[in-house]
Amino acid sequence: MKKLLAAVSMIALMGAGCSASSPAPSPRPTDNGEPTTAPKMSMGQFITGSWKIKSMQTVGGESQDVSGLGLTVRFDGERMQAKVCNLMGGKYTLKDDVMVFGPVESTLMFCEGKPGEVEVAFSNGLEKGYKMVKQGDNLVMQGAAVFVLQREGEPITDDGKVY
């Protein structure tokens, strides 16, 4: 038993020594030249603002560039507004990076061609929810289809800061 306790103690000490030798992240300078550490942005902070839908991929399909269609989504912390083919909006909740939408209201204009395809795929995902993933500066919505969104303008956060 003493040998087991000694072995566990040695492993714990070696692990502590390894973690202590890891270099600390270097702080970035502020405008006045003093170093600061940037706060980690939550997914809720990251998604808040306006986004342009760049691409769409349906299950079993290839990724399609839809950036030229002018399709947009905006998240403000509790509501989503989108202009796909129709205008749509509604409440959402974000928990563990999964966005679930409450009742979503939409105009009912007939949409044909690519905008109509995108709208059907996007709307189907609203019913089931989307896993939100930060991919560089882009936002990826993974659900019934996968959408890659590109930010339009600066992120808008509750505290008014850009992270």
Q: Identify the structural domains of the chain with CATH numbers, from first to last.
A: 43-152 (2.40.128.270)
- Position 18 scores a pLDDT of 41
Mean pLDDT of the chain: 79
What is the per-residue pLDDT across 38-76, written as a single tens digit (0 to 9) for each?
Answer: 557 789 999 999 999 999 999 889 999 999 999 999 999
Token pair recorded at residue 56: 């769409």
- Position 128 scores a pLDDT of 86
- Position 113 scores a pLDDT of 93
Token pair recorded at residue 22: 């890891």
- Position 38 scores a pLDDT of 53
Residue 68 to residue 52: CA distance in whole angstroms: 10
Concatenated DSSP letters for 14-41? HHHHHHHHSPPPPPEE-TTS-EE-PPPP
- Among the listed residues 89, 57, 58, 59, the one whose alpha carbon sits nearest the alpha carbon of residue 72: 89
Residues in the chain with pLDDT values less than 50: 1-26, 162-163
pTM for the structure as a whole:
0.70
Cβ contact 77:158 at 8 Å: yes
Cβ contact 87:106 at 8 Å: yes
- Position 41 scores a pLDDT of 76
- C-alpha neighbours within 13 Å on the C-beta side of residue 61: 15
Token pair recorded at residue 24: 């600390």
Other beta carbons within 10 angstroms of residue 34's beta carbon come to: 8
Cα–Cα distance list, 30 to 119, 147, 154 (Å): 43, 35, 19
Alpha-helix residue ranges (DSSP H) falling in 22-98: 43-47
